[in-house]
Structure 1
């Protein structure tokens, strides 16, 4: 039997770990002149948000100072999202790392100076392809790209952390279920955690032994074993919000041009065909024509595996006088990938199969509820514009038209900044149903990668539709209700059309568990992605009731609004009746945050300390410069940038040691009072 567990309790391995860890916490409290018996030792969770390499380095800087200030051993749990999980993986390479800073220094020196060779990354990707059933975009991202940031291929597994870490906080890596998120299912079916002992849905109470997570399981029985996910793959799926198809394509180009085996094939026509194909995918509107012409000549007369010639499949698309048609290019690439070994049987090696498969999945069309979504969107824009012309002085229809046009521009690959400016003017002062400001800053808009900008535009349009009748009650008429309903349907269809990340066998497939949502037990596979795409901090791993967390220390390394994660968590908690403190912040806190916030919890809710990375205390008037220098979506940081960021992140601890100890003392006192009752 697979070790599948349905229930809202901690597993025995985690219980043993935290029981042992509390002895070290008690000693640390005594060293800091906080005296309490073992029963009153507070359960403290340290959380690291997402933020790419900024989050990885920022978390390492925080952990280093927590150790040096003798505060690290107050933490029972350490949890992360996205880039923070990269920092976690780096420190947990070493047993009992939290007792001194040596492992953090090893990790920071490595990410500042080391590199991982191309051949090692290729070998890792081939290994993934050959040794497991499910191969998705996460595999080339994890094997080829992530090592450029973390500077290591880590072949250890999470279950390796069961031994040798009895003195360390218990680690919790977090992701989300992509399928549940896209179908807008309850949050219990979305938030997912991976720990040394179990992986599973934090709030739904469904878990599997970490060593068997990924195996093909049906009705709780292993039908086919799979290798346990290594830490390189886990870092890939945890940090997939940073991924971009174009970025992966650049690494495939490097593989073709500089891979040891690929260089030997440079004179082979098959190699030339793939090289031109990759360059076509990377080409801009201005230079795509020559690449397509070269491919046209090379493919003249070739037949696809379905018997048709390339020209028979796409005779009209050969006109290259206009801008690059990405939809055509991706379809064209898929046709060639699927027929490649039919034309070049002598190239059917492991490495070439993995390369072609990686190229194919980068260009695959995502699943969609509608075959012609873009055409449907254009028709909807026309209809909305036509109806809006009947009310030219009304802002409501203008907002809907602008939101749709902005979404269309983004889907086509344009920034659409001029449309955003117009839309922001009309949305000024308006709030969505969650009470959040509806304007989007141009700076944030331009910093976001294209695939994330698409999701941002779609969700923004959805928010507008869900709030429009609250803003404009005079629009509650049949015609506009029909239009808004149609917009919501089209937007949700686009949101369902996601790249496929983290494909994994579903350990709950056909389980007899009435308390679980239907989706969790009927799909044979699941898809996991970066939790930062929904909530950029791992609050819900810490909010499992059975963990009885007394104090959360949230380190926020996010780009943009430093208060978004804690405000959004509060909103979600209210909708789910999960105990969480009330969050009251001033408008200026979103733009110019302080370094230390305390949100007092009730008897059932934990107290939350929230500490933004860049703030007016450690950056002063240079706050915006620091924020601009350390972007989420930029290449690996230089050694100088890493050293500066480590120091800056650490300042938040040295500047607030007394504040942290004060709140820890209050947590001890609160727990003592609660135990007394």
Structure 2
């Protein structure tokens, strides 16, 4: 296992830095309210206020309930220990208590504690709107604490805090021969801990809790036979590194002794917090540049050797498209290999179906150095075989056995795991015991491009993918979410993490389970499906509008919500219906337990990749979730481009391989709109009306005014000159014309994404077409490589100035 030491947060790469900030005591005095509505005509509200500050405690505190009163007075004070470097957002909610049904919310307030000054008191009166009658009065006070400061590790967006462990062992006092019928079991709970609770039996091995060091956490012990609380211990009162013995006794229980020992947790993180490239990728790029330089000299017929800083970074970007994408990528890679251009490529990214081709190729550590006829023949056999056997009883029994074993290892159960096994059976005759980290062998000498696979992290309910979708990248070295600058080694993806530390290492998944995630169509909700089956413009216009609103709001210093009316309850019902994901994917969240830096929203890397309705509300973002919910990127944009737009990768040329049957430029235009909205350098995608009506095999897009924007050479899936040419410059004979007819209609095509079996004739046509479209555009490819090399030199000169 690789553990990543704290890095430094310096410059634009935003690497993580150990930092120390001041701790403060926040006192919140809930005073009174007035103007609250009655829950019915005759009876006033039974009101209480809940307080939740997740950076200080996992508990939600609440005032007492004041019954039958429209103007309740609580006058209760609550205390929170906070850290000045964290984004501390306090949520206050007023409820009308109901003993028969769920308590009705009256309104809620989100208050930014960072607006308070140490040593001062501040009185606030919260109202829903200027005309509103409901009003809540609260007094805040912030005091400095002289206790030892807490040490943090941050990349400027996320923060890892100190954490500790508590070991507990339970023993019976006196003779082991006890006539009591009870076995002395107790339940131990530590609020805010990773484990939550443990059941202890006398004489068994110790159990362990992990909890934030700075929180006012308590150990609560209950006797299982009576459910009576036998012990409550503030964990801060226990001396670190020393064993403390505490006795428990009850009338119906044998006397029990508990041994308690707290220890400081490790400072090293298993999660890498940083926006730069990992060490392994940087080493790979140095090796790959030597391969690229040699290939460029040959294909461009250069006289002089290229210096290291002159070598452009070229990437292949492949979209999704099921079996069609997998087959087409084999054809295009064969074309690049034939032209001697495959060694010019440093990255290859894929989504959905194109990841199936990539995963298959990288099982051979030297695949790009060999003739691709063998792998192409193998994939042809899989595409044309009958798929009926995937549901044979013997196969179903094997699926069930493996899913059971996977659950026993600690992986969450979800439908995506079954889809992964079905998908593997569609693509292979036998299970492949191959893992993502095994692909590092194919990169050891820089002999192949670095593969990166894409997915989206979404919410399980309440929000569509357009309202909440975060790019996730998978490489043989790391898996991470660039928006947060958080990555874990690929072999640890799926293991259990808390506060940046590894809690439980699970066996690395076979790559088929990742392929199931990358092509996960089944975690979609009705709203996503509506987008999939319609024109996406209306969804994109709404997304762009939400972005404008988000930029204006930034992080909220004060947010208030109105109580749900009858109309809003009906709207919520339909929202739940449209956005709930009945077959949601679940992977252990490696961000779980991390907090946000006070200035996270202004961080340039976070700003470049923000794009959800919740980005201004850290209490609702991914680190609070125990699981990730991962989905095929096609439900947002059918592209694998985002990893190539990370500034530290400095990609100069993107070969865009598009496998969509509808709209030759549609998805690339959406990428352009996305980048323009986010301020990410990308060339304008402005095809002419003629090109849209009759797209050609290759189109080049560049931005002469921005050296930071890559050149994009776009290859849509079209049948243009292939109709009349069997090879570049070779006219078809009359009897060969039928071989040039490839049905790429948006409906009725044998290559529709729902088709999992192709005829031999159809698969041969698709392989020939995609290979031809590459080979027939050799001049465009060489021209783009030359332009990328020139732009790299200009960028270097600009950097020197």
3-state SS, counterpart of residue 442 of structure 2: coil
Write out aligned runs for 1:611-622 (5 A): 611-619=715-723
Task: Note if 1:30 corresponds to 2:308.
Answer: no
Write out aligned runs for 1:127-146 (5 A): 127-132=402-407, 133-146=411-424
Quote how far apart the aligned CAs of 1:629 are: 2.8
Inter-partner Cα distance in structure 2 for 1:597 and 1:487: 49
CA deviations on 1:530-589 (whole Å, 9 max, x unpaired) are 111111111101111111101111000012112111100111111111111111123454
1:108 to 379, 383, 404: 379
3-state SS, counterpart of residue 161 of structure 1: helix
Partner of 2:509: 229
Q: In 2, are the aligned partners of 1:188 and 1:202 still within 8 Å (CA)?
A: no
Inter-partner Cα distance in structure 1 for 2:720 and 2:288: 35
- Relative to structure 1, the CA distance from residue 576 to residue 638 in structure 2 (aligned partners, 3 Å threshold; closer, same or farther) is same
Q: In 2, are the aligned partners of 1:619 and 1:626 still within 8 Å (CA)?
A: no
TM-score normalized with structure 1 length: 0.62
2:791 to 661, 664, 670: 670
Structure with the largest fraction of helix: 1
Q: In 2, are the aligned partners of 1:202 and 1:540 still within 8 Å (CA)?
A: no
Q: In 2, are the aligned partners of 1:581 and 1:599 still within 8 Å (CA)?
A: yes
Partner of 1:98: 368
Write out aligned runs for 1:389-428 (5 A): none
Inter-partner Cα distance in structure 2 for 1:37 and 1:150: 43
Alignment gaps of 5+ in structure 1: 246-365, 367-410, 412-449, 469-481
2:627 to 525, 530, 539: 525
Quote how far apart the aligned CAs of 1:513 are: 3.9
Q: Judge which range, 535-544 or 182-191, deviates more.
A: 182-191
3-state SS, counterpart of residue 660 of structure 2: coil
2:758 to 620, 623, 637: 637
- Relative to structure 1, the CA distance from residue 60 to residue 464 in structure 2 (aligned partners, 3 Å threshold; closer, same or farther) is closer
- Relative to structure 1, the CA distance from residue 488 to residue 550 in structure 2 (aligned partners, 3 Å threshold; closer, same or farther) is farther
CA deviations on 1:146-192 (whole Å, 9 max, x unpaired) are 42145553321111111233300000010101228973689996111
- Relative to structure 1, the CA distance from residue 603 to residue 500 in structure 2 (aligned partners, 3 Å threshold; closer, same or farther) is same
Quote how far apart the aligned CAs of 1:127 are: 1.4
Task: Note if 1:651 corresponds to 2:772.
Answer: yes
Q: For the pair shown, which has the larger CA radius of gyration, 1 or 2?
A: 2
When the two structures are aligned, how many residues end up with a matched partner? 461
Task: Note if 1:168 corresponds to 2:448.
Answer: yes
Task: Note if 1:65 corresponds to 2:335.
Answer: yes
Task: Note if 1:499 corresponds to 2:582.
Answer: yes
Partner of 2:129: none
Q: Judge which range, 7-16 or 111-120, deviates more.
A: 111-120
Q: In 2, are the aligned partners of 1:203 and 1:544 still within 8 Å (CA)?
A: no
Quote how far apart the aligned CAs of 1:33 are: 2.8
Quote how far apart the aligned CAs of 1:520 are: 1.8
Inter-partner Cα distance in structure 2 for 1:149 and 1:498: 26
TM-score normalized with structure 2 length: 0.53
Partner of 1:441: none
Quote how far apart the aligned CAs of 1:12 are: 0.7
CA deviations on 1:79-107 (whole Å, 9 max, x unpaired) are 00100001111111101211122453353
- Relative to structure 1, the CA distance from residue 486 to residue 106 in structure 2 (aligned partners, 3 Å threshold; closer, same or farther) is same
Q: Judge which range, 147-156 or 94-103, deviates more.
A: 147-156
Quote how far apart the aligned CAs of 1:486 are: 9.7
3-state SS, counterpart of residue 628 of structure 2: strand
Partner of 2:83: none
- Relative to structure 1, the CA distance from residue 658 to residue 492 in structure 2 (aligned partners, 3 Å threshold; closer, same or farther) is farther
CA deviations on 1:11-31 (whole Å, 9 max, x unpaired) are 011111111111111111111
Q: In 2, are the aligned partners of 1:244 and 1:451 still within 8 Å (CA)?
A: no
Q: In 2, are the aligned partners of 1:86 and 1:150 still within 8 Å (CA)?
A: no
Quote how far apart the aligned CAs of 1:39 are: 1.5
- Relative to structure 1, the CA distance from residue 497 to residue 177 in structure 2 (aligned partners, 3 Å threshold; closer, same or farther) is same
1:598 to 687, 693, 700: 700
Inter-partner Cα distance in structure 2 for 1:578 and 1:34: 34
Inter-partner Cα distance in structure 2 for 1:538 and 1:466: 19
Task: Note if 1:204 corresponds to 2:484.
Answer: yes
Q: In 2, are the aligned partners of 1:4 and 1:220 still within 8 Å (CA)?
A: yes
Output the aligned Cα RMSD.
3.3
Q: Judge which range, 56-65 or 215-224, deviates more.
A: 215-224
Partner of 1:539: 641
Partner of 1:56: 326
Q: In 1, are the aligned partners of 2:466 and 2:543 still within 8 Å (CA)?
A: no
Partner of 1:573: 675
Inter-partner Cα distance in structure 1 for 2:702 and 2:441: 35
Partner of 2:88: none
Q: Judge which range, 110-119 or 230-239, deviates more.
A: 110-119
3-state SS, counterpart of residue 554 of structure 1: strand
3-state SS, counterpart of residue 502 of structure 1: coil
Quote how far apart the aligned CAs of 1:653 are: 0.8
Inter-partner Cα distance in structure 1 for 2:583 and 2:666: 27
Inter-partner Cα distance in structure 1 for 2:348 and 2:272: 23
Q: In 2, are the aligned partners of 1:149 and 1:636 still within 8 Å (CA)?
A: no
Write out aligned runs for 1:198-597 (5 A): 198-241=478-521, 452-453=529-530, 456=533, 492-514=575-597, 515=600, 518=618, 519-597=621-699
Inter-partner Cα distance in structure 2 for 1:112 and 1:623: 17
Quote how far apart the aligned CAs of 1:110 are: 3.9
Alignment gaps of 5+ in structure 2: 1-267, 546-564, 601-605, 607-614, 725-739
Write out aligned runs for 1:75-94 (5 A): 75-94=345-364
Partner of 1:610: 714
- Relative to structure 1, the CA distance from residue 219 to residue 581 in structure 2 (aligned partners, 3 Å threshold; closer, same or farther) is same
CA deviations on 1:297-333 (whole Å, 9 max, x unpaired) are xxxxxxxxxxxxxxxxxxxxxxxxxxxxxxxxxxxxx
2:283 to 16, 28, 36: 16
Q: In 2, are the aligned partners of 1:180 and 1:190 still within 8 Å (CA)?
A: no
Inter-partner Cα distance in structure 1 for 2:523 and 2:457: 19
Partner of 1:299: none
Inter-partner Cα distance in structure 2 for 1:215 and 1:653: 41
- Relative to structure 1, the CA distance from residue 466 to residue 631 in structure 2 (aligned partners, 3 Å threshold; closer, same or farther) is closer
3-state SS, counterpart of residue 658 of structure 1: helix
Greater relative contact order, per chain length (Cα 8 Å cut-off, separation 6+): 1
Structure with the largest fraction of strand: 2
- Relative to structure 1, the CA distance from residue 109 to residue 458 in structure 2 (aligned partners, 3 Å threshold; closer, same or farther) is closer
CA deviations on 1:455-474 (whole Å, 9 max, x unpaired) are 64697876798999xxxxxx
1:660 to 755, 762, 781: 781
Inter-partner Cα distance in structure 1 for 2:530 and 2:464: 19
3-state SS, counterpart of residue 629 of structure 1: coil
Q: Judge which range, 587-596 or 42-51, deviates more.
A: 587-596
Quote how far apart the aligned CAs of 1:124 are: 4.3
Task: Note if 1:42 corresponds to 2:146.
Answer: no
Partner of 1:157: 435
Q: In 2, are the aligned partners of 1:188 and 1:203 still within 8 Å (CA)?
A: no
Inter-partner Cα distance in structure 2 for 1:496 and 1:584: 33
Q: In 1, are the aligned partners of 2:380 and 2:763 still within 8 Å (CA)?
A: no
Inter-partner Cα distance in structure 1 for 2:453 and 2:711: 22
